[in-house]
Amino acid sequence: MTVKNIPMRRCVGCMESHPQKDMIRVAWDGERLAVDTTGRAKGRGVYFCRNSECIEKAKKSRGLNRSFKRGFSEEETDGIFRELLMLVKEV
Ligand SMILES: [Zn+2]
């Protein structure tokens, strides 16, 4: 078995690192936040595990504001968290 260097990303919720391919990206392009389902949206990205626990945790700790170091409004981030929760519930 060859050991590959798989890209790891830290989850905003649990703060643990996991393979990037198992995670959901949220991008900030300087104007708006978006759940990046393609993984290719421009801008800075942060990552979440695909489980509601991590997403709820990140929501409670205002993790998006912390990760992007910005003062997003609650409405803005709530919309993103709602979208993320819908995504993980589909699986
Ligand atoms: Zn997590």
Q: Measure the CA–CA gap between 53 and 7, rounded to whole angstroms.
A: 23
Q: In terms of pLDDT, which residue wins out, 26 or 3?
A: 26
Boundaries of every domain in the chain: 8-90
Tokens of 44: 């800075």
Q: What pLDDT band is residue 38 in, cutting at 50, 70 and 90?
A: confident
Ligand 1 centre and the CA of 67: distance in Å? 14
pLDDT at 71 over 90: yes
Q: Which residue has the higher pLDDT, 27 or 1?
A: 27
- List pLDDT tens digits, range 7-25: 999 999 999 999 999 999 9
Q: Which fold has domain 8-90?
A: Hypothetical Cytosolic Protein; Chain: A; (3.30.1230)
Are 43 and 29 in contact, with CB atoms under 8 Å apart?
A: yes
Ligand 1 centroid–CA 69 distance in Å is 19
> What residues contact residue 46 under an 8 Å CB cut-off, 6+ apart?
12, 25, 26, 28, 63, 64, 67, 68
Please report the pLDDT score of residue 90 as a whole number.
Answer: 64
